[in-house]
A = this chain, B = another copy of it.
């Protein structure tokens, strides 16, 4: 056994979250066939299936829909699912109850949040006519921000996160930032950036897609105004499971959604001709919630029972540290370069390695059971979900990567 494999064994033995893996459906790893089992390092794209989900979904389909039918809106708690499940997500992102609703896609929620933010800030008529957005963000945030700017009469100002403090001013209405960069895995400084936005009198909107469920966010503590995130990465809600919107309690009564659907009406079944927004985070709802996906997510959140986000963060950093250590040991020198920050304070729960033939390398890794992501044009992206990834898997993934890089270099 190599030194790193032995180290992995020790780390796994001391892992207080090791038992959580049993709550997921994953390849079975026997001691003898460990190398044949897959290593799933793509939970930051689609989280693995929690074992509680299939049975719950079957009950929703066969009994709640098939037998109770329309009665389930009331009797099975369908109608209140968006806020009930929001309250389940809340502690994971440092939010008290009553501030999160689940529903719609992340893109749609970015639109609600950004337009809502501009309106909270007073908008162009008050002189605040700029939306600042992370130019390195996941593209959809930028596209939606451009639409939000166009439709609110604002100008879009794309800058790097480092440039944000320098461009804030009297004209800034809203700032949209990603907590963790989807490509590099860089963790941005949410507390200080939020404070800078507030010092300029603007509204802070955070996209938590790559941080929620992987590290502490502290929405309430740091005074974030609005936030959005998806639930199919570190929250394991399933493919395309609904996203969520956080509306800070202090701004809820002034939150003015651009998508005022009947679900956010103060009296949805009153069927009133004129719109009157519900109190609280409910006004972030829009249309009929997508129940199958929503309740699959609810079942998926059961894996968090008894798990602290601080323990998850500690293991996440240990996993990425160890992966970087193994890659350094196994990969030919200079063959890959990490674009993920070394400093813990700047690192999310992924490692991104740059190499010219990243697309082909990832194909070979996947063929050998090590599943990560290729991100155009030259990035190998590996996500580490502390709830189900072990250190032995990390060592194996790095070893397979090293072998792949060596073979390709020899063939090249």
Contact = CB atoms under 8 A, between A and B. Distances in A.
Contacts of A238: 61, 65, 291-292
A211 interface: no
Interface string A104-117: 11111001000100
Query: What copy number does this chain have within its complex?
Result: 2
A58 B56 CA distance: 11
A251 interface: no
B69 A288 contact: no
A140 interface: yes
Interface of A: 25, 40, 42, 45-46, 48-49, 53-54, 57-58, 61-62, 64-67, 69-73, 78, 104-108, 111, 115, 135, 138-140, 142-144, 146-147, 151-152, 158, 183, 230, 232, 238-243, 257-263, 265, 269-273, 275, 286-294, 296, 366, 371, 373, 375-376
A382 to B, nearest CB: 13
Contacts of A71: 366, 371
A184 B40 CA distance: 54
Contacts of A287: 104-108, 140, 243
A235 B287 CA distance: 18
A140 B290 CA distance: 16
B58 A265 contact: no
A291 B139 contact: no
13 contacts: A40-B69, A46-B69, A48-B69, A49-B65, A105-B287, A138-B262, A143-B265, A238-B292, A239-B292, A241-B290, A243-B287, A271-B375, A292-B292
Nearest to A268: B139
A46 B289 CA distance: 13
A338 B407 CA distance: 78
